[in-house]
Amino acid sequence: MALANVNVCGPKTARVCAKSMKMDVGAKVGRPGAMSRVVRVRASAEKIDFNYEGAFTLPYAPVREALLPDGPWTVIDGGVCAAKGFKVAGYKAGLRKKGTRADCALIVADEDATCAGIFTTNLMCAAPVAFCKKQLAGKPTARALLINAGQANAATGDAGFADSQATADALSKALGVAGDDILLMSTGVIGQRIKMDKLLPAIDVLAANVEASTAAANAAATAICTTDLVRKTIAIEVDIGGKKVRMGGMAKGSGMIHPNMATMLGVVTCDAAVSPEVWRGITSRAGTNSFNQISVDGDTSTNDSLVCFASGKAGNAVITDANSADAKLLEQALTAVCRGLAKAIAWDGEGATCLIECNVSGAMDDEDARVIARSVVCSSLAKAAIFGHDPNWGRLACAAGYASPVKHNFNQNDLKLSLGPHQLMDKGQPLAFDAVAASQYLKDVTGVHGTCVVDISVGSGPGKGQAWGCDLSYDYVKINAEYTT
């Protein structure tokens, strides 16, 4: 039985250091004696003093150091709590088959927050995806988002949808908000129903313990992870309309990563004031240029979801014109946050030793460029070659060639291709290159879990696009051959 380093106690008791704690809150909650305790938590809003330095944390992805695009913003602390108007909690309900990590996260907006989402295109979509799509179709605001790891609640039929509804009902009651204010995400094994006997009591604990702190944001980012080796979280501050606007995000994902959507789960909180229509457009385009441009293994998940909240607490004049400078800057910032998180997912791809970034230019339009870039980072053969430090660039050219659908007349005699600083092809002709040096480039980037850059130009068109993936190693197979048994 795995133990979580979590302390269960009355409000305002002192935090206890990780090493001294041996109690498994999830297990306790599941026992009759603990159940009554949870009821007390709900009744009295009893606080649980989580030790967020302990089992609620994972090492972090280098989003702020390496993966966040540059722009007119400053990196700040706080993750999804950086924006004003949001409180979060992470908790271990005991949903995972094994492991000591928290498995539930709750994000609560103090008041109605403008909300937009994009979701997996998999027709076999999970119950929480169907639930969220229905909620957001009916109402452009939300108050709370509950995320669980452990079970994906996908391919669970009508019973799975009933579980989602029961979860939302319980959360609505615990928070005292309307049922249509609730959003849900799940991640974990497909085809397994959520352990409702563990989740329902946890909802009360989460609801009673949300807070606006970096520690809570990190705990939430940890709780939603599955095979992730690092948590993905970032926050930035940007001047918009003369006010400081804050934006924080978290994401999870490591395998079953492919457009569209390409994350498993992503959440961004923001305190800008923005109309639902403008926010919806910004969210959609930011997702297109980030989470929809990453792949780990070509598998589009059943549960992929990105939800972006805007609380309006920053005090800026409400952005209602999609073409205004404020809207453009807000989109630029949201795209950066999403890209930082999306790249972190690819960087943390199952078994990966490097991030692969493919930059395509010269395409007929941006969408063509994105399609070609995705094709390259998805190629199993290119990925295996990079893992093996093999500058087998023919596989990169090949993958560019089978990108589909590409609207323009791809002419192989226009192809230009570089691997890091090494140009390997020009005008469709192979160039002589130093194979030892090119191999060393791959050794260097994989040695530090860095970024392998592939630049491809396919013609003279204005279209540009980027995509991110990772190399394919023995560990990918190992992780996925042994996932449920």
Binding residues for substrate: 226, 252, 263, 350, 480, 485
Report the nearest approach of a second copy to the CB of residue 170 (Å): 23
Report the nearest approach of a second copy to the CB of residue 190 (Å): 2
Element of type H or E holding 247? strand 243-252
Element of type H or E holding 338? helix 325-347
Report the nearest approach of a second copy to the CB of residue 467 (Å): 15
CB nearer to a second copy: pick between 324 and 392: 392
Which residues lie across from 240 on neighbouring strands?
A: 243
Cα radius of gyration rounded to whole Å, the chain:
23
Q: Closest Cα to residue 103, out of 74, 146, 60, 144? A: 146
Q: Tell me how crowded residue 260 is: count the other CB atoms within 10 A of its CB.
A: 17
Q: Closest Cα to residue 355, out of 456, 446, 255? A: 446
Spatial separation of the C-alpha atoms in residues 411 and 418, rounded to whole Å: 17
CA within 13 Å, CB half, 393 = 28
CB nearer to a second copy: pick between 7 and 192: 192
CB nearer to a second copy: pick between 177 and 396: 396
CA within 13 Å, CB half, 339 = 20
Residue type (1 letter), 294: I
Report the nearest approach of a second copy to the CB of residue 264 (Å): 12
CB nearer to a second copy: pick between 128 and 312: 128
Token output for 16: 């206890």
Report the nearest approach of a second copy to the CB of residue 15 (Å): 39
Q: In the chain, what's the furthest Cα-to-Cα distance?
A: 74
- The sign one gets for the Cα dihedral 87, 91, 95, 98 is positive
CB nearer to a second copy: pick between 109 and 306: 306
233 is catalytic: no
Q: Considering 167, 263, 269, 288, which one is annotated as catalytic?
A: 263
Q: Give, to the nearest 10 degrees, the angle between helix 380-387 and helix 435-447.
A: 90
Binding-site residues, please? 226, 252, 263, 350, 480, 485
Give me the active site residues, please.
263
